[in-house]
Amino acid sequence: MGASGKPLETDERIPVFQSAVKQLRDGNFDVEIPAEPLDAVGILGLELNRLAETLEQNFEETRKIQQIAEQLTSGLFLDDVLEKVFESFRTVIPYNRLGAAFLSDDKLQLTHYWGRSDAATVIIAPGYTAPMQGSSLQAVIETGKPRIINDLESYLAEHPESDSTRKVLAEGVLSSLTCPLIAHGKPIGLLFFSSFAKNTYQNVHQGVFLRLAVQLSLLVEKSRLYQQLFEVNQELLEARRILETQAMHDELTGLYNRRAIMNLLETRLSRARREGLPLSLLMIDIDFFKKINDGHGHHAGDRALRAVAARLNSCVRDYNRVGRYGGEEFLIVLDGEDAEVAEAIAERLRLSIADEALDDCGRRLHLTISVGVAMTPRVLELDPHQFIAVADQALYDAKQGGRNRVRVRRIV
């Protein structure tokens, strides 16, 4: 219509059409193109209006797809990428459930890896595996094209052998869009978009996925590889930690072994010397241990060692360390405030052993310990072996005094 409300003449409409086409070319899709009178030129106007609507829809779809792509690339681990897929794809594909499954290396098995659903109960859980041979999913993998099933109830009636269809129906799913993931020309798995309503999916949804398929498949594959490398690295770190723990700890008692407790003593000596701190060392021996081995057997002796080790370890602060020095002898390094009250700590340890008998397979074994304490208010030039020698002499005093007692030697 012109300004007067009358239909424009043909020669008047052509410049309007030209202006509209220029605006469309420049990305302005909000144009109004006259279609009256509905002659050949008017029909062209109608088609231009439809073109403007289509271009606007395509532009909006492209913008959303670009946003999705940007969001996906911010994920590093596979679960992060799939979570972002679940959150972002809703703007271009409708679904209530999204699942990801991956092919085995030989392409014979498909295993459900990840899924999110609006359903209250999820039946197909991670780890669910189905054979590919004879499966209708094989065609999706082979053709590389998404598949739409808009009535899963009818599909199950025609394919009663489909266990996965039966399970998703039980979750409330009624239609599905199954999309292949193909990276570097090789199939790696499938994405399952599912809706609680029938007739949800159209060809346009297939097209939307295909526009993102290559980028998404490569991103999924990259994140899978990264996650596998990360998990392998974590396993190696854990194995290293276990080896380091084993190298530092006594296999029988779980305490520091001789080398580790000696290294700790040397470290604490250096710090005490540098900072002018007190330091104490407890050397502990199980009284008459040989009688336990001779009278009850070495297994009973091992159980006694473990029991004493556990009690000693539970009676000192976390930052103090207990070590098995050898045989039935133990060392405990005390520094700071604990070093100043080492004799009281040693007495507490002695009582913890003496006051509670060991229940050994129905037998009551009464154990005691002798404790030698080496104390110094200020470390000078002592090395670990000299410090241990002083504690050992104090232990000898305790044994000579009748055992089951604490003796102290102070280094001034």
- 244 belongs to a structural domain: no
Note the pLDDT of residue 59.
62
Distance CA 300, CA 306 (A): 10
* Whether residues 96 and 189 fall in one domain: yes
Note the pLDDT of residue 15.
79
Distance CA 392, CA 282 (A): 9
| Mean pLDDT, rounded, for 306-324 | 87
DSSP string, 324-368: EEETTEEEEEEETHHHHTHHHHHHHHHHHHHTS-EEETTEEE---
* Whether residues 140 and 206 fall in one domain: yes
More confident residue, 136 or 70: 136
| Mean pLDDT, rounded, for 295-313 | 90
Of the candidates 389, 227, 254, which has an alpha carbon nearest to the alpha carbon of residue 311? 254
Say if CB 379 and CB 265 are below 8 A apart: no
Domain tally for the chain?
3
φ and ψ at residue 171, rounded to 5 degrees: -85, -10
* Number of helical (H) and strand (E) elements in the chain, helices listed first: 13, 13
The residues, any chain, with a CB within 8 Å of residue 256's CB and separated by 6 or more, are 248, 249, 250, 264, 321, 322, 323, 324
Say if CB 75 and CB 81 are below 8 A apart: yes
pTM, entire model = 0.54
Distance CA 114, CA 101 (A): 7
The residues, any chain, with a CB within 8 Å of residue 239's CB and separated by 6 or more, are none
Say if CB 121 and CB 114 are below 8 A apart: no
Of the candidates 378, 346, 374, which has an alpha carbon nearest to the alpha carbon of residue 278? 378
- List the CATH number of the domain containing 166: 3.30.450.40
- 201 belongs to a structural domain: yes
Q: How much of the chain exceeds pLDDT 90, in percent?
A: 41
- 250 belongs to a structural domain: no
Say if CB 361 and CB 292 are below 8 A apart: no
- 206 belongs to a structural domain: yes
* Whether residues 281 and 160 fall in one domain: no
* Whether residues 339 and 216 fall in one domain: no
Quick one: 148 exposed, middle or buried, by C-beta within 10 A (0-12, 13-18, 19+)? middle
* Whether residues 68 and 148 fall in one domain: no
| Mean pLDDT, rounded, for 109-125 | 89
* Whether residues 67 and 96 fall in one domain: no
* Whether residues 54 and 89 fall in one domain: no
Assess whether pLDDT exceeds 60 at residue 364: yes
pLDDT in tens, 284-296: 999 999 988 888 8
| Alpha carbons within 13 A on the beta-carbon side of 88 | 24
Note the pLDDT of residue 282.
96
* Whether residues 159 and 267 fall in one domain: no
* Whether residues 203 and 145 fall in one domain: yes
Kindly list the distances between the CA atom of residue 405 and the CA atoms of 333, 366, 368, in Å, as whole numbers in the listed order: 19, 15, 9
Peptide bond before 126: cis, by omega within 30 degrees of 0?
no
Instruction: Kindly give the pairing relationship between strand 406-410 and strand 369-376.
Output: parallel
Alpha-helical (H) ranges within 144-284 are 152-158, 163-170, 203-248, 258-275
Kindly list the distances between the CA atom of residue 234 and the CA atoms of 9, 78, 228, 297, in Å, as whole numbers in the listed order: 77, 16, 10, 42
pLDDT in tens, 139-160: 899 888 999 999 999 999 999 9
What is the band of 350 on the pLDDT scale with cuts at 50, 70, 90? very high
Q: What is the DSSP letter of 90?
A: G
Which domain, by its residues, includes 136? Answer: 78-231
Q: How much of the chain exceeds pLDDT 70, in percent?
A: 90
| Mean pLDDT, rounded, for 355-378 | 85
Note the pLDDT of residue 74.
58
Of the candidates 103, 97, 147, 106, which has an alpha carbon nearest to the alpha carbon of residue 124? 97
Distance CA 83, CA 53 (A): 32
- List the CATH number of the domain containing 297: 3.30.70.270
Alpha-helical (H) ranges within 120-190 are 137-143, 152-158, 163-170
Q: Which of 47, 73, 99 is the last residue of a domain?
A: 73
The residues, any chain, with a CB within 8 Å of residue 411's CB and separated by 6 or more, are 374, 375, 376, 382, 387, 390
* Whether residues 165 and 273 fall in one domain: no
- 339 belongs to a structural domain: yes
More confident residue, 132 or 362: 132
- 236 belongs to a structural domain: no
- 127 belongs to a structural domain: yes
Rounded to the nearest 10 degrees, how much is the dihedral formed by the CA atoms of 21, 25, 26, 31? Answer: 40
Note the pLDDT of residue 253.
93
Note the pLDDT of residue 61.
62
* Whether residues 360 and 374 fall in one domain: yes
Note the pLDDT of residue 333.
95
Of the candidates 379, 386, 389, which has an alpha carbon nearest to the alpha carbon of residue 412? 379
pLDDT in tens, 18-31: 787 777 777 777 77
Q: Of the segments 28-42, 113-127, 167-181, which one has the largest average pLDDT value?
A: 167-181
* Whether residues 156 and 35 fall in one domain: no
| Mean pLDDT, rounded, for 198-218 | 80
- 345 belongs to a structural domain: yes
